[in-house]
Each structure stands twice: as C-alpha cells, then as structure tokens.
Amino acid sequence: QDNSSCGPSFPVDPDVVLLEERQVMSRKFIVGGNWKCNPKTYKECNELLKAWKKALPNVDRSKVEVVICPPALWLTSFTESFEGLGFGVCAQNCGKTDAGAFTGEWTAANLVDLGLKWTLLGHSERRSLYGETDEDVAEKVGKCQEAGLGVILCIGEKLEEREGG
C-alpha cells in the first residue's frame, strides 16, 4: 500500500484494520431531545408522553439510542414512562465539582446514583447565559468520565453563529 502522499509509510496490520472497521460498524447512533424548561407543568409533560405513546413506533434499540433531556425537576418522575417508550433519560447539565457546599448543583455521581447514563454538557445557553467556558466544560467532562457517565457534548454555538456558517 502506497501511503507516500499521507506522510511516512507504516506497515498496516490487517487484523487491526478489521477490528477498527468492526468497532465503527458496531457503534449506535444517539438521538437526543432537549426539553430545556418545557413543558411548563407536570400535567403537560404527562399529556405529551401520552401522545407519544400513541404516535411513535417502537424504537429499534439495536440501531439507535434515544434519550430525552427533561428539566432537572422531572429527571426521576418520568424515567419509567420514558423507558417504556424505549427512551433513556439524560440530564441537561452536571456540576464540575464533587459533593460539597454547592447549592443548586448536582454531581456526576448524583446522576449515576439516579440511574442516568447520559448528560448534556457545553450547551450554548450555559455558555452565553451562565458564562461557562471550554475549561469549565472540560472539568465537567472529566468528572463525568470518572463517574462512568456518558456525555453528549454540545458545540456551544449560538443560533446566529450556526446560521452564519
């Protein structure tokens, strides 16, 4: 194999290439729905779930993992309903600290203890409204990795930035 246009040539182990191809093929897509601070009430959330139960086909979990990111207040209230639809539950954020005197925060370990497997991090609103930096997000990612919590990392761009290219 001629790799001269790609820099130095290294011998290619066909078993390693085959393993890498299998790993890529075995990955599942993840589709997430961030509810932000919606619906406004617990009752509206229940109504939305009832409508989904009627309208949505079964999700083939072998092909895609679907997660819903409800407001923190409802993380545990609707877990059973989401799972009944074949959806996982994902937190919208996670603190960058361990347990301690951090009013209003929750840790990666807290989320794992609730049975969650995922959290969003780095959302543009967290960056623009609350001043989160790349360094803050990196600390959060590290805490999540230590706790075994999966991260859906948001790029963090504002709508104007995305639409502007």
Distances (CA, A) of 4 to 9, 14, 105: 6, 19, 52
Q: Verify cis geometry, omega within 30 degrees of 0, for the bond prior to 39.
A: yes
Which of 87, 8, 91 lies closest to 53, judged by CA?
87
Residue 46 in tokens: 């229940």
Average predicted confidence (pLDDT) for the chain = 81
First to last CA, the chain: 38
122/120 Cα distance (integer angstroms): 7
Q: Give yes or no for a contact between 28 and 65, defined as CB atoms under 8 angstroms apart.
A: yes
More confident residue, 4 or 140: 140
| Model pTM score | 0.76
Q: Which of 138, 104, 106, 110 is nearest to 122 (CA)?
A: 138
Express each pLDDT in 93-150 by its tens digit: 999 999 999 888 999 999 999 999 999 999 988 988 999 999 999 999 999 999 999 9
Distance CA 75, CA 133 (A): 25
